[in-house]
Amino acid sequence: MATVITLGGNTKMSDQKQFSVFESLVFPKFSLLGPLEIVEVFQFYDVPLCFLSRNRAGSLFLSTLYDLEDETRPSWYLLPVSVIRFQEIRSGSMDLHTAFLSSETELIYTTNSDKIEPHSVFSLDALTFPIPNSRLELKTPTRQNPISSLASYAASTMREAIDLSFENPRFRTTVLPIRQLGQHLKAFQEVVDTIPFDRAQNTNTRGRIPQASLSETELGFVENYAASFGVRMVSLNALPFLWGNSTLDDCLNKLFDLLDISNNPGDLSVQLSAFSSRTIGKYINFLKTLTYTKTSIKASFVASRKQERKAALTSAQADLLIPLLTKIVEEEPLDYEIEGMLIGLVVNTRTFVVQYQKDGKTKTISGPVLDTHLSDASYATINENYIFTIRETESYNVVNDESKIKYALLQLRKPN
C-alpha cells in the first residue's frame, strides 16, 4: 500500500501495483539509466503526475509531469535525489520547487516512452518546475543509512548544519548523561538566539526575544554520531536560502568567532566589541556549563555549498575565559518606568511590592528598595498610584540551569 496525495493535501490510499502499468508510458525500454520502476506515487490524475522511481543500481529519481500536449506521449522530469534529499522532500522540509532548482547533480532528465535525455538544470525553464512552496508533507521514517559528512549533509538538505562533539573523562566516549547533554545544548541554543541583537543593530539587550527572530535561529536535533558523543543539528527554518547568508548562517559564524577567542585571546575588548552584553552573558553561561561538568567540545559548522568551519574548546580553556569575559563585559541592568499601585512597603527591611497592568493583565513585582529617600513610611502611601523607576537584573544558576529576574526600586514619584 502507498499513499497517493495531491499537493493540496487531499489523501487517499491506493494499491501501488496499479501504477506499474504506466511504466512503459513513462520510461523507454532501453535507456542510459537502465530499467526503471515506479516506487511511490504522490499525485495522480489519469497518469502519475508526481512520483518516485528507482533504477536497478538503487538510484532514486523524483518526477513531475511537465508536458501533456500529446496525451499519447506525455513527458516527465526525472530529478536525481539522494536518500537524505528525498527524505527532506517527502517530509515537507524542502519544497519541490527548491528541490528541482538546486539539483544535487545539476542535472535533470526528461523522459517519455521514446527516450531519456539529460539537461543542465540551468538550461530548463524554472516555470515548468513545481510552483514555489508546493510540498508533499508525508510522515517519513528516520533514515537508517550511515551518517554522511557534514558538508554533504548540508548540501543535501539545503540547511545550515552543525556538529557538536562532547568529551567528558568521567564517562565512556559513547555515553553522555541526558541531563548534561540537554544543559549544554540549551545553553548553546541561547547563545545563538541572542547574536542578532548585537550593539550595531539593536539597543534592546534585555527582555524577550521576538518569536520571529527565534524561528530563524532555532536548531533541531538530527542524529548522534561516533566521535566521543557527537550530536548533529540543523536549522529548523523551513525556508532555505539559495543565495546569500541566512540569519542563522551569520549567527553561527559569529559564534565560531567567539569559540576561536579561546585559542587567541589577544585584546578581548576589541574582539568582543561586535557582541552585545546579552550575547556575552549567555556565552559565559555556556562556558559555565562546560566547566561545571568538566566537558570539552569540538564543533563544526557548514552552510550549503560553503566552506566548513571548525573550533574546539576544552573545559580548562572555558574556566580561564569566564573571569576575563566577566571582567570586560558586565551585563548592564535595565532601568525603566512603570505606573502602578504601591501595595506593600516594609521600611525596616527596605522591600517593596508593586502591582501594575500590562497587556491587559495584572502583574506584581517585588524586591529591595534602593531609593535613599524611603527612610520612613511617610514618603509613600500604600494603595496609591505612583510612577516607579525599576531596575531589572538577571542571574543564572549553572547548577540547576535556571535563570531568574530580580527587581529593585530606584525611585518613585507621583504621576503628573
Give per-residue pLDDT as tens, 39-69. 999 999 889 999 999 999 999 999 999 998 8
* 199 domain-assigned: yes
Verify that 321 and 352 share a domain, yes or no: no
Q: Is the pLDDT of residue 150 over 80?
A: yes
Whole-number Å distance between alpha carbons of 300 and 298? 7
**What is the band of 144 on the pLDDT scale with cuts at 50, 70, 90?**
low
Residue 16 · residue 3 · CB < 8 Å: no
Whole-number Å distance between alpha carbons of 297 and 331? 25
Q: Is the pLDDT of residue 6 over 60?
A: no
Verify that 385 and 299 share a domain, yes or no: no
User: Residue 314 has what pLDDT?
Assistant: 94
Q: What is the pLDDT of residues 241-290, one digit of tens each?
A: 555 678 899 899 999 999 988 766 667 777 787 787 788 888 999 999 99
Cell 522530469, residue located: 77
Verify that 186 and 316 share a domain, yes or no: yes
Quick one: which of 293, 287, 298, 289 has its CA closest to 325? 287
Q: What is the DSSP letter of 371?
A: -
User: Residue 196 has what pLDDT?
Assistant: 83
Verify that 309 and 344 share a domain, yes or no: no
* 139 domain-assigned: no
Verify that 15 and 96 share a domain, yes or no: yes
Mean pLDDT over 387-414 rounds to 75
- Domain residues for the domain of 6 are 2-128
- Count the neighbouring beta carbons within 10 Å of the beta carbon of residue 105: 13
Whole-number Å distance between alpha carbons of 34 and 15? 25
Q: What is the pLDDT of residues 334-363, one digit of tens each?
A: 788 999 999 988 877 888 999 999 888 999
pTM above 0.85, yes or no: no
Verify that 186 and 208 share a domain, yes or no: yes
Instruction: Tell me the torsion sign for CA atoms 138, 121, 237, 162.
Output: positive
Residue 158 · residue 94 · CB < 8 Å: yes
The CATH number of residue 401's host domain is 2.40.50.140
Amino acid in the structure at residue 172: R
User: Which residues are registered as beta bridge partners of 397?
Assistant: 402
- Domain count of the fold of the chain: 3
